């Protein structure tokens, strides 16, 4: 019986997938998804007033569910951000944040329950292969702190998760935490190691004990890493300053030091054909995606990478329901999705544990400008990529604090 039900479910999913593929042949993929949801999603058919009431109930009793809803639909995300602008965790809408450990624990429970983790799949579900299996292998499980392990490079203990598997073994020699092994990738040509930051900051720490803050600021201001590969030079004209990807150190009012990665490429005035005014012209969505694909293959993909299987993060700044500067192919359907106002200047933001060591925040902003000599009626689209990796409150700095932002596969 279970096998027959699984077969029917698989057949239904295949049919719906074919329907979506048919829609994508005649219209923009984003519009196809919207039309598909209008036809087959019971939730999407509800008016905004009812959806808001459902979201209000979720907000009262289950903030994690509210967060999950915000990730699966632009419409739900807009409603959530509008209704709860300051209290929703994990919203990719520019105004959300990730709350404390209790929400993370709830997320782990949901991920385990839904069999997201491949390690858990044999042990979870109606028919488990192992009735009393130990599922401590789950990659989403909560990790106990314990005493940690000694890092020979830092000469102090770190949490076990700060080490690669071979260094987690008992008796491992010359342990080095991920903070020292890994690097942060600015682009394909430039990687930033912890030793680079530590060597720079160490010159100033001895002279700064909270009394000479200007010395620390000078230290941060003098940290400058840029990649001068010509593939990154995306300026509009030779008279403008080059658009090199760069890394800086900065300090917030709470004395939390972070590494900021940034890159600001220009499309050029004639590249997309965006022309505001009475005779307005729009950029096509495929052309825009092609431009962002180029950026993602460069420094944009290192600073603000796309999530696997999702729309490029840059396109989130151009909502088809609101933006008038981009043309989405409707394919004769979805005419009710006509935009009402242009929000091309909206920013996109993805925040993970922002405001504490090891946290990271990514942001993409869109703006435009005309040519300096006003010879072109079209405007240039300026994309600003920015990522902050929180490092440390401590003196001296501790590399284990930034290891979530350092990629071990980059060494």
pLDDT higher than threshold 60 for residue 145: no
Structure tokens at 298: 């460069």
The C-alpha atoms of residue 390 and residue 254 are separated, in whole angstroms, by 12
**Average pLDDT over every residue of 360-368:** 80
- Judge whether 231 lies within some domain: yes
Same domain, 349 and 402: yes
Structure tokens at 183: 């690097």
By the 10 Å C-beta count (0-12 exposed, 13-18 middle, 19+ buried), 389 is classed as: buried
CB 392 within 8 A of CB 401: yes
Domain assignment of residue 164, given as a range: 149-176
Helices and strands (H and E) in the chain: how many:
13, 12
* Number of Cβ within a 10 Å radius of residue 199: 10
Name the range with the highest mean pLDDT among 109-118, 148-157, 360-369: 148-157
Nearest to 119 by CA among 131, 132, 105, 133: 133
- Judge whether 262 lies within some domain: yes
- Judge whether 168 lies within some domain: yes
The C-alpha atoms of residue 81 and residue 97 are separated, in whole angstroms, by 11
Nearest to 320 by CA among 297, 340, 300: 340
- Judge whether 29 lies within some domain: yes
Three-state DSSP at 79 gives: helix
Residue-wise pLDDT for 167-205, tens only, equals 888 778 888 888 888 888 899 999 998 888 888 877 766
Same domain, 271 and 377: yes
Residue-wise pLDDT for 46-84, tens only, equals 877 788 888 888 777 777 777 777 777 777 777 776 776
Ranges of H-type helices in 27-153: 29-40, 42-45, 48-61, 63-72, 74-83, 101-113
**Average pLDDT over every residue of 159-169:** 81
Counting the structural domains of the chain, the total is 3
Of 68, 98, 113, the domain-final residue: 113
């Amino acid at each position: 019986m279970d096998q027959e039900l699984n077969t029917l479910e698989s057949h239904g999913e295949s049919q719906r997938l074919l329907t979506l593929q048919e829609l994508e042949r005649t219209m923009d993929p984003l519009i196809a998804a919207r039309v598909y949801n209008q036809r087959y999603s019971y939730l999407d058919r509800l008016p905004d007033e009812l959806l808001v009431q459902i979201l209000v109930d979720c907000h009262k009793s289950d903030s994690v569910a509210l967060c999950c809803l915000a990730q699966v639909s632009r419409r739900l995300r807009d409603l959530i951000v509008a209704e709860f602008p300051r209290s929703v965790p994990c919203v990719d809408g520019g105004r959300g944040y990730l709350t404390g450990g209790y929400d993370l624990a709830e997320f782990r429970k949901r991920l385990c329950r839904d069999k997201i983790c491949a390690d858990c799949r044999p042990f979870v579900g109606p028919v488990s292969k192992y009735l009393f299996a130990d599922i401590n292998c789950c990659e989403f499980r909560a990790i106990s702190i314990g005493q940690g392990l000694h890092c020979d490079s830092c000469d102090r203990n770190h949490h076990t998760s700060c080490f690669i598997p071979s260094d987690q073994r008992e008796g491992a020699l010359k342990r080095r935490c991920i903070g020292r092994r890994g690097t942060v990738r600015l682009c394909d040509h430039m990687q930033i190691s912890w030793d680079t930051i530590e060597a720079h900051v160490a010159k100033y720490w001895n002279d700064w004990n909270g009394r000479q803050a200007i010395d620390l600021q000078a230290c941060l201001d003098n940290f400058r890493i840029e990649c001068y590969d010509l593939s990154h030079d995306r300026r509009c004209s030779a008279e403008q300053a080059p658009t090199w990807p760069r890394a800086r150190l900065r300090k917030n009012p709470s004395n939390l030091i972070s590494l900021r990665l940034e890159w600001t490429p220009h499309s050029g005035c004639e590249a997309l054909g965006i022309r505001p005014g009475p005779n307005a012209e729009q950029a096509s969505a495929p052309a825009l995606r092609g431009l962002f694909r180029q950026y993602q293959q460069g420094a944009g993909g290192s600073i603000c990478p796309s999530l696997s299987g999702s729309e490029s993060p840059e396109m989130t700044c151009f909502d088809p329901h609101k933006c008038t500067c981009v043309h989405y192919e409707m394919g004769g359907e979805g005419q009710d999705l006509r935009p009402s106002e242009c929000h091309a200047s909206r920013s996109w933001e993805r925040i993970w544990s922002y405001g504490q060591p090891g946290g990271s925040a990514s942001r993409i902003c869109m703006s435009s400008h005309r040519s300096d000599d006003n010879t072109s009626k079209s405007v240039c689209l300026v994309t600003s990529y920015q990522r902050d990796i929180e490092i440390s409150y401590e003196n001296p700095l501790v590399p284990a604090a930034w290891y979530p932002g350092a990629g071990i596969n980059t060494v």
